[in-house]
Amino acid sequence: MNSKGVPSGLTRGRPVGFTLIELMIVVAIIAVLAAISYPAYQQHVQKTRRAQAKADLIEYAQLAERFHTVNNTYVGFDLPVDFSPREGGVAFYGLELAGVDQDEYTITATPVEGTRQADDKCGALSIDQAGIKTHGGGSENNGECQFGTGG
């Protein structure tokens, strides 16, 4: 009871709090914000995983060049791992070394089926001995799928 004799939970006879309609409006606003932000978050996660695969391709291309410098051939070079990322427990890209001979190779990162990365708009990413970087999806003018300056 306050000084006027009104119970503390009431003000002029009305209960204090939220109505069901007010609560439903707040829930609807939160649902709309979540519906907008979750897909954007998923795209950001895909972009981050793609960036890691691009970095791995460039790193392994550098390893291949070091091998070639010492041995004067790419024959015998092998990738340290066949997935990306190396840490984390879940592979989102499979790495493959193909077309290896004395003067050339191609390293390809392919999104792993069964992961959210499988529907990545850029598709498979690759780099060769000349430093030419390609992607299997997206448009040629899409800067998001490009990496580096190419050869």
- Determine the pLDDT at residue 139: 59
Nearest to 61 by CA among 145, 136, 140, 134: 134
- Determine the pLDDT at residue 136: 83
What is the CB-side half-sphere exposure of residue 110 using CA atoms within 13 A? 12
Task: Name residues of the chain where pLDDT drops below 70.
Answer: 1-14, 138-143, 148-151
For residue 24, give the amino acid letter: M
Which segments within 44-124 are labelled E, that is strand? 83-84, 93-98, 106-111
CB atoms closer than 10 angstroms to residue 80: 10
Domain ranges in the chain are 47-135
- Determine the pLDDT at residue 151: 39
